[in-house]
Chain A
Amino acid sequence: ETGVTQSPTHLIKTRGQQVTLRCSSQSGHNTVSWYQQALGQGPQFIFQYYREEENGRGNFPPRFSGLQFPNYSSELNVNALELDDSALYLCASRGGSSYNSPLHFGNGTRLTVT
């Protein structure tokens, strides 16, 4: 069984640029969530996709956007990068639509904005 994979592992961008992060969900999982984790903080919910549609969003501005593809892989796009966007970005997948399903995380993408 293949777990959740994220790419790239590290990324350095300049303020104002745009970035795309990618995630392949675990086999059989149709729900993907994205989280932002700043240093010393817990993961903060960005949004969630279920069967290619966004079905939940946290308190993040519209410059954070995403997609889910028919194979359930997903992208997170961030426009007009700000210094505060520097964080570990985590993708997590879960199977089915049950609220009981735990999240399974990928290894994350470390984004540094200079």
Chain B
Amino acid sequence: QKEVEQNSGPLSVPEGAIASLNCTYSDQGSQSFFWYRQYSGKSPELIMFIYSNGDKEDGRFTAQLNKASQYVSLLIRDSQPSDSATYLCAVSPGGGYQKVTFGTGTKLQVIP
């Protein structure tokens, strides 16, 4: 079982729609959860992080965390063509060893 799992996609949504990206993780002790956006040929860029169960909103982005189900998601409202990229889910355990583990990413395509 992979430590962090994502559907590789591509996920295609029309412009203006809501894009829903999902991620599951295997380590029940995970404490911190991050979403990164990566454009082709570029490095990952932090979008959001979430630590507590529930929703966290930042502009058009909402991160959702359910630790009991070991599930984290990212919603993008009013999707724009510029949102087309690969979205990486990343998870970090508690404790002093703070390795951050990434999923393989979900490719999002926003169709104009």
Chain A positions near chain B (C-beta within 8 angstroms): 31, 33, 35, 40-45, 48, 55-56, 58, 88, 90, 94, 97-108
A102 to chain B, nearest CB (A): 5
The total number of A-B Cβ pairs within 8 Å is 65
Q: Say whether A105 contacts B43, CB under 8 Å.
A: yes
Interface pairs (29), CB distance under 8 Å: A33-B99, A35-B102, A40-B104, A42-B4, A42-B102, A43-B102, A45-B102, A48-B98, A55-B96, A55-B97, A56-B97, A56-B98, A90-B43, A94-B98, A97-B98, A99-B31, A99-B94, A99-B98, A100-B31, A100-B32, A100-B49, A102-B49, A103-B34, A103-B90, A103-B100, A104-B46, A105-B43, A106-B43, A108-B43
Chain B: residues with Cβ within 8 Å of the partner, total of 28
